[in-house]
Structure 1
Amino acid sequence: MRIQSIFIGSVVVGVLSTSYLSLINLLCCFGVMLGGGVAAWHYISTSNRSIDPVEGASLGAGAGFLGSLLSAAFDWALRPLGLDGESVIQNLMGMDMEQMMQQQDEMVQESMMQEPSVGMILITLIMGAILWAVFGALGGAVGASLFGGNDADPDTPPPPPDAPSQTDTSW
């Protein structure tokens, strides 16, 4: 059940971090935190038990980590259509890559035309996965706090209040 909850949360993270929907992450990685909260909520609702924020954070971290990989895959698949995250940002900023290249010197043009190395892609993926795991953990902890509830039986009455103190308060 944990893996299913993490996967559902990671799909939320991946979808909210792709194309135009990725703009929600400009609000302090809100889409990633939302996915972590969804993972915690799903686990709580399917297991019918409460969880503490630490367990919610572990669910959210898993959702954030896996969601970063799904987002990269979604962006890669949408790149030919011009709907990947980078293309969307460029379109919104009104920048044309050819126009930018004409304004830059020759050395910068050469570095921009080169394909990124496999090492650079891996480093970017790993750093993004770690960062998204942190924000996913934050969302999972918040989700556990919001949706966690408690394990107390609703038919059990609360304990009686403490008896009043028998100490003499007169001086």
Structure 2
Amino acid sequence: MTDDPKSSYSTLYDILFYANDETAYERDEPDNRKKPFEALLKRIDHALGGEYVKYATHNFDDALIGTAVAITENFVVRAGRDEDEPFTVTVTPLSLLQSISLVQDPPAGFVAHGTAWHGATVVLEFDSGVEKAILPGALSSGRNASEFAELYPALLAQLR
């Protein structure tokens, strides 16, 4: 018996929930951030038309205020929320990528001990009028750094 592949929503959920060492909400106890987090993921998944996310990060604080970035084979999604504002989800074609900058920016950055990614922050810049994406959104988990390293060749290919 084979397992069904994960849905695009489940994949996004796993990648974004474990993007950094600070979880988006507490799973072991009641947490009022769970429903807004799940609602945001449903919006992102819907905006992507079910396309599978390859990498995601966020910088949410305790009230889920901040920005999430998710990248698929074809799109970059920025989902942000300011205090007392609803989440806004913006989908940008990855083909609009113009440059990739690598910045050593501790304490934010990738946790990838023993690799060139360790401590690096990546800035994706797009055609004019599209807001840049900063990766990771906060100090990453090791898993998040590995997911980005797997995605990086595809980002370079977009610049060709």
TM-score bin (small chain): under 0.3
Structure holding more helix per residue: 1
Higher normalized contact order (CA 8 Å, seq sep 6+, divided by chain length) = 1
Larger relative strand fraction: 2
